[in-house]
Amino acid sequence: MLRILNVLAILVLVGSALYAYSIKYATLYQAEKMVKLQHELQTETDSLAMMRAEWARVANPVRIEALADQYLGGQVMQLPQIATLASLPDKGARGDQIGDKLQDLGLSESTSTPGAAAPSATPAAKAKPGAADLARTGSASGARTGH
């Protein structure tokens, strides 16, 4: 019995040593992964700082003014060029622009459509009671039932 307990204790000891080593290597793997992610984060932070510095240079008002003078040949805005709301004209009433154009062309009279004056293409449809007649009377022979 004592030998079985000794063998069992040795097996538990070996198993716990294997478990400790597996935790150790998993921890090392996670630490290396964390260092790699920190390095990537630092690279992205440096890249973002470089982009912000480049944007500050590109969006510099003095630089934009010099480029506008060089390529656009613009004038410096004077104070009388600035308008107030009261000096702007009122917005005109909006009308029917298409209707006005048609009226100018003499096409504003109403026209009749060809289908309105033409007789029905199916004369048999007039002779038979329709679905509306059946729904109103309740049957095809509404007169016989007294409705």
Distance between CA atoms of 140 and 117, rounded to whole angstroms?
Answer: 30
Which pLDDT band holds residue 55 (cuts at 50, 70, 90)?
very high
Distance between CA atoms of 18 and 20, rounded to whole angstroms?
Answer: 5
Query: 85-127, pLDDT tens digit by residue?
Result: 888 888 877 878 888 888 888 887 776 666 655 555 555 555 5
Query: 86-96, pLDDT tens digit by residue?
Result: 888 888 778 78
* Whole-prediction pTM: 0.40
